[in-house]
Amino acid sequence: MSDYILSKAKLKYWLEDIRRRNELWAPVGEGDSVSYLKNPQGENVATEFTNSLDCPKYIFCPQQDPICNYEIKGRGEVSVEPLEPDTTPRVVFGLRPPDIRGLDIMDAYLLNDNIDERYKAKKDNTTTICLGYHNPPPCCFAEAVGVDLFPKKGSDILLTDIGRSYYVETLSEKGENLVSEHFNEADDIVRNEAWGIQKKNKGKTNFDLNLEKWKEFTDSEIYTLPYWDEIYLGVIPDSVATRYFYSGTYFKIVDVAKGNHGTRYKTWTTMYSPNFSVLNNGYDYKPSLKEKFKDWILEMFHFFPKRHGFIGCSGAHRCIAGMTTKHDIRKIIANVDFGT
Amino acid sequence: MNLTPSVVKLTATRKEGVIGSISFKNTTQLHAGQVFKIGTFGIGETSAWITDWEDDIATVSFLENNSVTHKIMLLPIGECITIRGPFGNGFSLGEKGYKEILLVSKDDGILSQKKLINDLIQEGLNVTLLHFTSSPKNLIMKSSLEKACNKEASPINGIIVDMTKKGPQDLDSFIAKQFKKHNIANIDGVALSGNEDFQKAVCKTLEKTNIKDKSIQILFNRNFTSGMGWSNQDLYGATNVWKDGPVFTLSEVRRFPGIFI
């Protein structure tokens, strides 16, 4: 596709233009307290942040997503009004590279086999703008899970911070459609500067997770390692965790009734919920934290890659920085004791 | 996946002990081992096993132990409920050409096998049912099971095993003894349902018989979620229970990560 240069001073005007024609989601806040909000003023948009507090999956898959309205009209008479998927044109600005991976993870779960039409409609009508990772936090391990700090796929536009301007690369037709009069053509000097920054940052978030070693063992051997019997100790079943992760989330159907009418919602919540693995007959097939924690880790680093060809972790470091457990997942993975 | 439910009218409701059953019109072909998500607006949804399907009327059964099932059982005939499904593959023993079938179930595992028993009888197969109960006084599907175990009137060989007599011995040896006691020679196809601990113990005994792994069908009961596999709630390693199952053969189960066998 094409490349341009956008002055940082003009960023807010570009975002204002986008906001006038689309629903804009962009990061707002400072330091560690950044969240993606709907239609913020261009001047309030944060660009100097490492990661948002919550992973922005809620933009594409809201925690409470209405499926249908209903009205009970009398005995044997119920009217159901399905709510059409949301096709509002939407632009998400400032996604960091781990969150681009996060969207790939959600695609794998929700757009394969059983397609979630509500998610698909949102994804199809959303243009994503990735802010390259020129400032990854120290505990980020994005490259260790295969995330490119300046990804050339997965988003529609990639911005590289080159000081007073952004080097803009359009990666798709949707991205090309957002090119505005605020952009200037990039020249070789800008290109070389941007590519230099991209190259300089390469390897900053690499961390040897020792995943090659996993390939020497069968599923059963990995699953039954005594290592997992101890590693969960100290983990706090943190309900907030679901906001930090792209995996470990499950859906429930919840009705909110007002008299004889109401709305049915699809809601997601954490795998640490008490009824997560309890069957109707009371049998709990993942009765302890050990199973939940082990299955979650193995799903991200072993079984998800087997099904989808890439690691099911975004490497965003939210679980290290944000969770109350203070477990360092990098060390948990890298130090797996295979007993050999 | 379509999350918007269909609305159907109840044609019958029945309660026996802790089990509730409801019937509604359904023209889609149904198999034993499949589930519906049933519910009422304002309360929510729960899972129900298909226990019968005749003349385009489906009957599903469930443990009546939550607010959704309580509400449904209070509804009069003709009232509306919501349904989604059917989900899952179901048992396929009848299609495999087996002659002697053994059904093994524990407690509410019988719900997923009730329709299977009727289907196999209609196909003229010899059926032995070994039902393990942990509460013999409150037997689940009592009348049906007692009918099945009536040696003179029943078309199947039904045996109810009282698990309260297990005593201090471990589950594996108790089940092995029961299999030895009730001769299961000549069996060429098995359907197994119950909790995973029970399934593990039964499979350990079946491993020692001549029955082939691919002739043993096991129903994995896992919570059904709307976003398949997004949580690992419905995953068994790399296998999604509700995409490829919930009925798997023992040879498939052996490929699951090592906790089962």
Cβ contact B91:B34 at 8 Å: no
* Chain B residue closest in CA terms to A271: B231
Q: With residue A147 as reference, give the H or E element that holds it.
A: none
A116:B227 CB<8 A: yes
Q: In sequence order, what are the residues at sequence separation of 6 or more whose Cβ sits closer than 8 angstroms to the Cβ of residue B179?
A: B130, B205
Residues of A in contact with B75 (CB under 8 A): none
Cβ contact A127:A157 at 8 Å: yes
Name the DSSP letter for residue A85: P
How close B207 gets to chain A, by Cα (Å)? 18
**Is the pLDDT score of B169 beyond 80?**
no
Residues of B in contact with A75 (CB under 8 A): 76, 78-79
Mutate to test the interface with A, among B61, B226, B231 (most CBs of A within 10 A): B231
- Number of residue pairs across A and B with CB atoms under 8 Å? 147
Q: In sequence order, what are the residues at sequence separation of 6 or more whose Cβ sits closer than 8 angstroms to the Cβ of residue A300?
A: A247, A311, A312, A313
Residues of B in contact with A76 (CB under 8 A): 9, 78-80
Tell me the ipTM for this assembly. 0.80
Question: Which residues, numbered 66 to 105 in chain B, qualify as contacts with chain A under a Cβ-Cβ cut-off of 8 Å?
Answer: 66, 76, 78-80
Structure tokens at B51: 């226990």
CATH class of B93-253: alpha beta
* B11 lies within 8 A of chain A by CB: no
Mutate to test the interface with B, among A117, A251, A292 (most CBs of B within 10 A): A251
* Chain A residue closest in CA terms to B109: A281
Residue ranges of domains in chain B: 6-87, 93-253
B107:A281 CB<8 A: yes
Cβ contact B51:B118 at 8 Å: no
Q: How far apart are CA B168 and CA B249, in angstroms?
A: 31
Q: Is residue A304 one of the residues assigned to a domain? A: yes
A221:B79 CB<8 A: no
Q: What CATH number should be reported for the domain whose range is B6-87?
A: 2.40.30.10
Q: In sequence order, what are the residues at sequence separation of 6 or more whose Cβ sits closer than 8 angstroms to the Cβ of residue A50?
A: A96, A135, A136, A137, A140
Structure tokens at A53: 């507090």
* B46 lies within 8 A of chain A by CB: yes
How close A266 gets to chain B, by Cα (Å)? 8
Strands B126-133 and A33-38, sheet pairing? unpaired
How close A39 gets to chain B, by Cα (Å)? 28
Q: How far apart are CA A21 and CA A324, in angstroms?
A: 40
The residue type at B207 = E
Q: With residue B69 as reference, give the H or E element that holds it.
A: helix B67-74
Mutate to test the interface with B, among A107, A246, A285, A289 (most CBs of B within 10 A): A285
Mean of pLDDT over chain B = 85
Smallest CA-to-CA distance from B161 within B198, B114, B207 is with B198
Helix and strand counts by DSSP (H, E) for chain A: 13, 12
A280:B45 CB<8 A: no
Q: How far apart are CA B54 and CA B6, in angstroms?
A: 20
Where is pLDDT greater, at B18 or A241? B18
How close A175 gets to chain B, by Cα (Å)? 28
How close A111 gets to chain B, by Cα (Å)? 10
* Chain B residue closest in CA terms to A283: B195
Q: Which residues pair with B216 in a beta bridge?
A: B190
How close B188 gets to chain A, by Cα (Å)? 28
Query: What is the total count of domains within chain A?
Result: 1
Greatest C-alpha distance within chain B: 52
Pick from A85-89, B100-104, B215-219, B236-240: least confident: B236-240
Residue of B5, B66, B258 with shortest CB distance to A220: B258
pLDDT band per the 50, 70, 90 thresholds, residue B228: very low
Quick one: how far is CA B91 from the chain centroid?
9
* B44 lies within 8 A of chain A by CB: yes
Cβ contact A336:A213 at 8 Å: yes
Helix and strand counts by DSSP (H, E) for chain B: 7, 14
Residues of B in contact with A264 (CB under 8 A): 3-5, 41
Q: How far apart are CA B212 and CA B102, in angstroms?
A: 13
Q: Is residue A339 one of the residues assigned to a domain? A: no
Average pLDDT over residues B58-84: 91
Residues of B in contact with A106 (CB under 8 A): 230
Average pLDDT over residues B6-23: 92
How close B70 gets to chain A, by Cα (Å)? 13
Q: Which residues pair with B203 in a beta bridge?
A: none
Cβ contact A55:A268 at 8 Å: no
Mean pLDDT by 10 residues, chain A (340 residues): 92 94 93 89 88 88 90 88 93 95 90 84 96 87 93 94 94 93 91 93 88 86 87 74 73 87 86 76 80 84 89 84 68 84
Cβ contact A302:A214 at 8 Å: yes
pLDDT band per the 50, 70, 90 thresholds, residue B259: low
Which range marks the domain in which residue A232 is found? 3-334
- The CA-CA-CA angle for residues A304, A331, A197, to 5°, reads 80
Quick one: how far is CA A324 from the chain centroid?
20
How close B178 gets to chain A, by Cα (Å)? 23
Average pLDDT over residues B38-66: 90
Residue of B42, B45, B237 with shortest CB distance to A257: B42
* Chain A residue closest in CA terms to B230: A109
Handedness of CA B221, B224, B227, B231 (dihedral sign): negative
Residues of A in contact with B38 (CB under 8 A): none
Residues of B in contact with A60 (CB under 8 A): none
B80:A306 CB<8 A: no
3-state secondary structure of A122: helix
